[in-house]
């Protein structure tokens, strides 16, 4: 039984930030409805209907906290490298502009992904751990991240899906970390919404908060983390 639980956690860690605790969440006040403007770049091959479906699933989750993600199309862009590190490194160079609160890149699929999938399947068959990352959010400001929006095999869908990956990374974009149960995440979101109502927050900006409680109330502060003056 214990080994089964460990295996479950190993295979689920990329698709969950914890198990919901409805009885706790339903006693919490998340305040008024707020919008988060998510500037979204997508790889060629990802259709508008797919993006709409992704955001619809994410917003179903966000309704629990009186939040709504607004899709802001930033157009198509070739993938800036093969690895997640390459993608995040590129996203560090993309500034938050006045129409953006968060930045998201939707990764598609290429023939290289198919080869890598075969490789990871071999690792999975050998030791039972799936190495492929389905998405990530940077932890300097928790304002930008990416997800894999196209899956190659049905085996991948046994573990996760583009929708569940976006929901997962969406929690990181709200400052949540990883935990077994979600009470701490509920409290993090409640704090962030409280911060968003403060008078010193930039007008029209939904602020960010990291897992170490670094707070960003203005876009210029977020951009300053990645653009240091000489």
User: At residue 142, does pLDDT exceed 80?
Assistant: yes
On the question of pLDDT at 153 being above 90, the answer is no
Give the tokens for residue 72: 């802001």
Domain ranges of the chain: 2-225
pLDDT > 60? residue 230: no
Q: Of 40-54, 130-144, 199-213, give the lowest mean pLDDT range.
A: 130-144
Q: Percent of the chain at pLDDT above 90?
A: 71
Residue 188 and residue 175 in contact, taking contact as beta carbons nearer than 8 Å: yes
Residue 109 has pLDDT above 50, yes or no: yes
Task: Please give the average per-residue pLDDT across 73-102, as a whole number.
Answer: 94
CA distance 10 to 24: 26
pTM of the model: 0.84
For the cut 90, the answer to whether the pLDDT of residue 221 exceeds it is: yes
At residue 121, the pLDDT reads 55
Q: 121 burial class (0-12, 13-18, 19+ CB within 10 angstroms)?
A: middle
Task: Flag whether pLDDT at 13 surpasses 50.
Answer: no
Q: Which residue has the higher pLDDT, 53 or 9?
A: 53
State the pLDDT confidence band at 77, using cuts at 50, 70 and 90.
very high
Yes or no: domain 2-225 corresponds to CATH 3.40.390: yes
Residue 11 has pLDDT above 50, yes or no: no
Structure tokens at 226: 């990645």
pLDDT of residue 152: 60
Q: How many CB atoms lie within 10 A of CB 179?
A: 14
Q: What is the largest CA-CA distance in the chain?
A: 56
Least confident span in 91-95, 120-124, 187-191, 206-210: 120-124
β-bridge pairing 215-216 and 208-209 = antiparallel
pLDDT value at position 38? 99
What is the pLDDT at residue 83? 84
pLDDT value for 81: 86
Please state, for a pLDDT cut of 70, what percent of the chain lies above it: 78
């Amino acid at each position: 039984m214990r080994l089964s639980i460990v295996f479950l956690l190993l295979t689920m860690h990329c698709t969950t930030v914890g198990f919901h605790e409805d009885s706790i969440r339903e006693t919490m006040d998340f305040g008024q409805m707020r919008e988060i403007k998510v500037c979204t770049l997508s790889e060629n091959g990802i259709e508008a209907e797919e993006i709409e479906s992704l955001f619809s699933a994410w917003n179903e989750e966000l309704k629990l906290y009186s939040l709504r993600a607004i899709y802001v199309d930033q157009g198509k862009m070739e993938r800036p490298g093969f690895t997640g590190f390459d993608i995040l490194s590129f996203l560090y160079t993309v500034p938050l502009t006045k129409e953006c609160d968060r930045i998201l890149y939707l990764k598609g699929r290429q023939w290289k992904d198919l080869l890598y999938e075969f490789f990871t399947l071999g690792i999975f068959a050998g030791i039972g751990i799936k190495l492929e990352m389905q998405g990530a959010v940077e932890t300097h400001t928790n304002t930008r991240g990416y997800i894999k929006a196209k899956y190659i095999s049905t085996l991948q869908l046994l573990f996760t899906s583009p929708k569940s990956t976006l929901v997962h990374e969406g929690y990181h974009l709200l400052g949540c970390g990883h935990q077994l149960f979600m009470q701490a995440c509920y409290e993090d979101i409640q704090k962030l919404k409280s911060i968003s109502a403060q008078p010193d927050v930039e007008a029209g900006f939904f602020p960010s908060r990291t897992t170490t409680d670094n707070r960003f109330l203005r876009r210029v502060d977020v951009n300053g983390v990645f653009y240091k003056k000489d």
